[in-house]
A and B are shown apart, each in its own frame.
Chain A
Amino acid sequence: MFKILKYSFYDLARSRWSYIYFLFYLVLALVLLFLNHDLSKAVITLMNVIIVLVPLIGTIFGVMYYYNSREFTELLLAQPIKRNSIFLGQYLGISISLSLSLFLGIGIPFALYGLFNSAAIWDFSLLLITGVFLTFIFVALAFNISLRNENKIKGFGYAVLLWLFLAVIYDGIFLMSLILFEDYPLDKLSLAGTMLNPVDLSRTLILLKLDISALLGYTGAVFKQFFGTNLGLFISLAVLFLWTIVPTFSILRKARRKDF
């Protein structure tokens, strides 16, 4: 598996797209820092951008990589290598290289602006952790979609749709249902709704850091326990982890049965 990982990673490390992705984050971070002169404010803006963009880029990259490397995958399949190793290796290769682009792209400008001597370093670490989680989750989801769709166009379509759904539409439905059922106790429902969407989950992690004073304004006891203690942080991280693990297993399960 590590050999496959190594080669996928090298392959991507040399691809134009990794650099574009890296440069995009570099420029974004530089512009934000240039405009704000304030690390913590730039971190906040970046957070808003990252929870939407990282999933999009992860999805598109995942799908693109899968379809582009199909023949290569077939070449590997004829070698004495386990299927699990091939797909896990490719999945980790792309996730790690994307995470690295993100990490360096926003890490370098912030480090130059004196991140390490700033109080924003914790928020920034959280931002990176969230970004890495989202990358892994959405690449895994993209692999699942492409494994199930031979047609490249279809696969792309589903992937973008999935992103659109989780990043925007889901919250719309979520909001509507909360307003519709406002006469009932909703705190459990609203937390459950958050857990079911990795984008919302990452957003919650960010809320815990930035908007805790607003979150504590709500009366529900479950809410209070969730947001008022470290419970919320741990549960969110645990569920994000689950969101990474489950699609990964799904990749392996599907790959084991698929014909090439």
Chain B
Amino acid sequence: MNRTSRVASRWSDLRRSAFVAAVALTVMVLSMPANAAPAKRGTAYRVGKLVTMDGTDRVINNAVVLVEGSKIEGVGSRQELEVPAGYRVVNAENLWLVPGLVDAHNHTAGSLMDLNDMVYLTNPGLRTLETIVPDNEIIKSARAGGVTPVLLIPGSGTNMSGFGTVAKTGGSTVADVVQRSPGSLKIAQAGNPEWYWFGVGRSYMNYNTRQTLDKAKAYHEGWNAFEQGKTKDKPLYDPVFDGFRGLFRGEFPASVHTQIYQVVMTTVDMLSKKFGIRTVLDHSTFDGFKTAPLVVEQDMYTMNGPRQYWFDFSQRKMHGNAARWWQGGVKKLGINTDAPVVPQKELSYQAAMACWYGWLPYPALRGVTKMPAEALLIDDHVGSIEVGKDADFGLWTGDPIDPRSSCEMTVVRGKVVYDAKVKRRF
């Protein structure tokens, strides 16, 4: 008997005993009386303050949030909501319960080596799904900042760098963390892709993006016509453009790397007005806020960041980007980190800085919870604390925007994924 076969035989022995154990366990479980385990075993979080971010912007003091499985089962004040028997109670009377923060612009899917696959100037078929490392160090630290879902998108090295993925920060396999793929289409306007090669400028980049989208739209319309029975010619399947069909159906948005007045204007005009794509303005920094009237007209979402101010040399003024967008009437406004540019765990601090430069705390908190969730079309299950939504939240020592407050516990889908008492990370 050589060494390999000995190992193999041991392995088969092991498997056999495992099988025996499994059978024994099944028999035990089946023979247990049905009434021994309670019907439901949830968790009740008793907190000092609950910021719901729901439709009526309720803030409840001395609140209870009931969690059953991965969902929120009940929300209310301690007087009106009774904790069912058998529920585990988490006493956090001096903490705030805040919806899990959402970041609509994040690059920490996996190793930062495959952030930008710059094969062509547009790479429409790629997706970040294949690069995700669910438990990487940056994601771990994101939990410490109370961040629960993020949109993992490719970099802005090319005009079109692929499809992003909406993922949770809690979970250890790709299947665990992925919420939606494609999460968005990443398009990058000026301010990075021009470094692709000599001669690439704004005219060419716009043409390049436009013609790719034209092709994708034609593909989508061809299939639409076939599916609706308008034509009997079945179009050829094209893996490059098939992913775009969801985009044109409005199932997911385009996340657009866009900044500077002229560039943001082109983005609004080309993507939202001409193509009718649901477009989220990421970055939207420098003097991009000057396009506010256009953005209001198109009813678009703006996810501002990572830059929080723009210094106008000609006027010697510091403009808070978020404050200026807000002032321009853009209320569908959120904040991002562009992690790892700003560490993911500092998403709430980005909101703090938006406030220092003139924005307001409550809209800023909404800008890191409900607004990005709405922008990404995931607000049906995250972004606020409401019955039926995912149990994604953080327990904070106070106003989550204040850098003096810390996130003591983060819960994703009802599971505690970060506990400062076990190991404090931020």
**A in complex with B:** no
